[in-house]
Structure 1
Amino acid sequence: MDHEFWHARWARQEIGFHEGTVNRYLHDHWSELVRHGNETVLVPLCGKARDMWWLHDHGHPVMGVELSPIACKDFFEEAEARAHVTPGQPFTRYRHDDLELWCGDFFQLVPEDVRHVRLVYDRAALIALPPKLRKEYAVHLSAILPDSAAMLLITLDYDNPDLKAPPFNVRDDEVDELFGADFRVEHVLTNTLAHDHPFAKRRGLTGATESVFRLTRRTS
């Protein structure tokens, strides 16, 4: 992961990927994944997504992992919530109630860190990574997650080879290639972005689509 790139984007507040509201696919499809309602949720590359407050308000302990300390501080400050900060290596931990942000490199997580995780929410992690790192991300996620874990994954696909910066396009078949060996991949929904959608408009895209996937561990 290019640490300098992401630190610079947060420092310049170049965070067009930040939605600022609760993601509608999370709102509409989360209940399809939940069994008990109190499962711990891992949110990789979480930024300062308000989705984490939504998950917390719906009864889930939340563990977000984010490289930028600016994002971690902003997340709590913007909600006027006080966080207890525990410095450390490789992660500094920000905690409010049972919502934690682990500030550091996602690829430094080990199985012991996420042994309590049962659900994963990925809206902006996979699409933030270039192709090589997407493969590493999928392998690492599969290696550290408990066998019972399941995931809600949201991707973005568009046909514009000139765009070399995140969010990157991820084809539906690539999701199967990345996760199919270890997870059952269920394609829940595909939605075409309107021409006046902020991202499509900003990037001059036509025909961009978002897809929603539900992933559950394959049993041996």
Structure 2
Amino acid sequence: MDHDFWHERWESGRIGFHAGRPNPLLVDHFPKLNVPADGRVFLPLCGKTLDIDWLLERGYRVAGAELSEIAVREVFERLGVAPEIEQTRDLKRYSGPSVEVFAGDIFALTPDLLGSVTAVFDRAALVALPERMRGRYTAHLASLSRAAPQLLVCFEYDRDTLEGPPFSISATEVAAHYAGDYEISQLDRHMLEGGMKGVPATETVWLLEPR
């Protein structure tokens, strides 16, 4: 993961990947995770997503990890929460009522720092990583979450016509990374409105259930 690339995007405000609403696939398919009323949901590489607000409004607890401290600060500003900030090894933990976000490299996050989570929603992490890093990331996420149930959002497009991020990730690659720990089900697959940067693309949401 090129830290300088993502830091520059946040510093310059080039964050077209940030959606101004909760992710529709989270809204539509979250019930499939069977998260209890007091459940804690982990959002890897969360940016300043409004998915956090959506989950909090429904009474869930939220944990996130995000490289950019700019994004983390903006989450708490939007929530109207003055966070407690604590340096925890190589990360900064921003925390408030029912929410905490770790600012820094997700690979520096450990299971003991994160604590237990009930489920994972990955709409922006796997697709942001180049191919050489995805195996390391998926193994790390399974360890962090203790293979908690997961909703995973992926895109597919012609790699010869477009270079990510977000990267194109096939069903075969999803199986290669996750089939050892999870039963994998496709919940939805559709053409992405407007394509990916003008290139035709599909968007798929997968349900990963621990074996």
TM-score range, shorter chain: over 0.9
Map of 1:82 onto structure 2: 82
Looking at structure 2, the residues matched to 67 and 168 of structure 1 have their Cα atoms a distance apart, in angstroms, of 18
Deviation at 1:187, TM superposition (A): 0.9
**Contact 2:111–2:145 (CA under 8 A) maintained in structure 1:** yes
1:87 positional shift: 3.0
Q: Is the 8 A contact 2:127 2:169 kept in 1?
A: yes
8 Å contact from structure 1 (residues 93, 102) kept in 2: yes
Query: What's the CA shift string for 1:99-150, capped at 9, x where partnerless?
Result: 1111011111222123411210101111001111111111111223225x11
The residue aligned with 2:192 is 193
**How far apart are 1:71 and its partner, in Å?**
0.5
Structure 2 letter corresponding to 1:77 = E
Match of 1:63 in 2: 63
Aligned: 1:214 with 2:207: yes
Distance 2:139 2:35 in 1: 25
CA 1:106/1:187 → structure 2, altered by over 3 Å: closer, same or farther? same
Trace 1:105-124 onto structure 2 (pairs within 5 A): 105-124=105-124
Equivalent position amino acid for 1:178 in 2: H
Give yes or no for contact 1:118–1:146 (8 Å, CA) kept in 2: no
**Whole-angstrom distance in 2 between the partners of 1:68 and 1:36:** 30
CA-CA distance at 1:181 after TM superposition: 0.8
Distance (Å, rounded) in 2 between the aligned partners of 1:51 and 1:73:
16
DSSP-derived class of the 1:18 partner = coil
Q: Give the letter aligned to residue 31 of structure 2.
A: S
**Counterpart in the other structure of 1:92:** 92
Taking structure 1 as the reference length, what is the TM-score of the superposition? 0.90
Q: 1:158 and 2:157 equivalent?
A: yes
Report if the CA contact (8 A) 1:62-1:98 is conserved.
Answer: yes
Aligned partner of 2:18 in structure 1 is 18
Task: Check conservation: 1:115, 1:146, Cα contact below 8 A.
Answer: no
Counterpart amino acid of 2:149? Answer: A
Name structure 2 gaps, 5 residues minimum.
none
Give CA deviations for 1:11-57 in whole Å, capped at 9, x if unaligned. 11111111121111100100111242321111100000010111111
Query: Aligned partners of 1:128, 1:96: CA distance in 2, in Å?
Result: 27
User: Secondary structure, in 3 states, of the residue corresponding to 1:190?
Assistant: strand
* 2:171 maps to amino acid: D
Matched residues in 1 for 2:104 and 2:154: separation?
A: 23
Contact kept, 8 Å, 1:95 with 1:101, in 2: the verdict is yes
Is residue 2:172 matched to residue 1:179?
Answer: no
Q: Counterpart of 1:168?
A: 167
Q: Is residue 204 of structure 1 aligned with residue 203 of structure 2?
A: no
- 1:84 shift after superposition: 2.0
Displacement after TM superposition at 1:162 (Å):
4.0
Query: What's the C-alpha RMSD, in Å, of the aligned pairs?
Result: 1.5
Distance (whole Å) between structure 2 residues aligned to residue 33 and residue 88 of structure 1: 30
- Which stretches in structure 1 are left out of the alignment for 5+ residues? none
